[in-house]
Amino acid sequence: MQALTNRAKQVDRAPMTFIEQLYLWNIVKGMAITFMHMFKKQPTIRYPEQKREFSPVFRGLHVLNRDEEGKERCTACGLCAVACPAEAITMEAAERLESEEHLYREEKYAAKYEINMLRCIYCGLCEEACPKDAIYLSETFTPADFNRKNFIYKKTDLLIPNPTTDAQGFAAAKGLN
């Protein structure tokens, strides 16, 4: 039979000699490779102290954005939920009362907003669909947890800190410092 490539090697099935049976040379060869690795660059990092840099397009945990006056941008239009391929987003809308005008940007707002992080695939389509710049995927992971129920993120978990009352938290969430 003709070989397909010239790299094919015939397997040598001859019985090993006594020297070969001792495996000495092969052990030395293996040890040398292990030893060489001590001088190579380490691919691991010491995680909690050291952190890897994220790509600027990294898509992590969601945040619900506010405008400069601290009003919530989300109007519960449902476009993120309809765009979501994993059906992770649910919401309920309500009408803004006269006394709530400092809280919400438009007359309709999301009274309830939930993202099921167990379902979410971090594709960023919600961010793309949002007509109000209200939802963003931040450069952080969703923290690990022992309980499944802690992965149902409510509006309080998702909202960015209010820039008028908690300017520091807002800046930290935006990654400005």
Partner 1 sequence: MSEQQLFKVTIDNITIEVPAGTSILEAARKIGGEVAPPAMCFYSKLKGSGGKCRTCLVEVSKGSEKDPRPMPKLVASCRTTVMDGMEVKNITSPKVVDARAGVVEFLLLNHPLDCPICDQAGECHLQDLSYEHGKEGTRYEFQRRKFKKHDLGPYIQLHMTRCIMCFRCVYTANQVTDSRVHGVLDRGDHAEIATYIEKSLDNDFIGNVIDVCPVGALTDKTFRFKNRVWFLKPMDAHRDCPKCSGKVTLWNRGEEVFRVTARKDEWGEVEDWICNECRFEKKNSSDWVIEGPREISRHSVISQGHYVNTVKPTETFLAVNDGRAPHLLLDIHSESDVNKPEIELSLINGPAHSNNFNSK
Q: Considering the rule CB under 8 A, would residue 65 count as an interface residue with partner 1?
A: no
Q: Considering the rule CB under 8 A, would residue 127 count as an interface residue with partner 1?
A: no
With beta carbons less than 8 A apart as the criterion, state whether 113 and 91 touch.
yes
Judged by CB under 8 A, which of 86, 125, 152, 159 binds partner 1?
A: 152
Which listed range, 20-28, 43-51, 52-60, 73-81, lies at the site for partner 1 (CB under 8 A)? 73-81
Q: Considering the rule CB under 8 A, would residue 118 count as an interface residue with partner 1?
A: yes
For residue 149, count CB atoms less than 10 angstroms from its CB and return exposed for 0-12, middle for 13-18, buried for 19 or more. Answer: exposed
Looking at the DSSP bridge assignments, the partners of residue 70 are none
Which listed range, 28-36, 55-63, 102-110, 166-174, lies at the site for partner 1 (CB under 8 A)? 102-110
Q: Considering the rule CB under 8 A, would residue 84 count as an interface residue with partner 1?
A: no
Judged by CB under 8 A, which of 25, 30, 69, 112 binds partner 1?
A: 112
Looking at the DSSP bridge assignments, the partners of residue 135 are 64
Within a 13 Å sphere around the CA of 23, how many CA atoms are in the beta-carbon half?
Answer: 3
Judged by CB under 8 A, which of 61, 63, 64, 76 binds partner 1?
A: 76
Judged by CB under 8 A, which of 54, 116, 139, 170 binds partner 1?
A: 116
Nearest to 89, CA basis, from 50, 122, 48: 122
Q: Considering the rule CB under 8 A, would residue 92 count as an interface residue with partner 1?
A: yes
Tokens at 35, concatenated: 């030893």
User: Radius of gyration over alpha carbons of the chain, in Å?
Assistant: 28
Nearest to 95, CA basis, from 108, 106, 82, 104: 108
In the complex, minimum distance from the CB of residue 137 to partner 1, in angstroms, rounded to a whole number: 19
- How many residues touch partner 1 under the rule CB under 8 A: the total is 29
With beta carbons less than 8 A apart as the criterion, state whether 75 and 67 touch.
no
Binding site for partner 1 (CB under 8 A): 75-79, 81-82, 90-95, 97, 100, 106-108, 111-112, 114, 116, 118, 131-132, 148-149, 152, 154
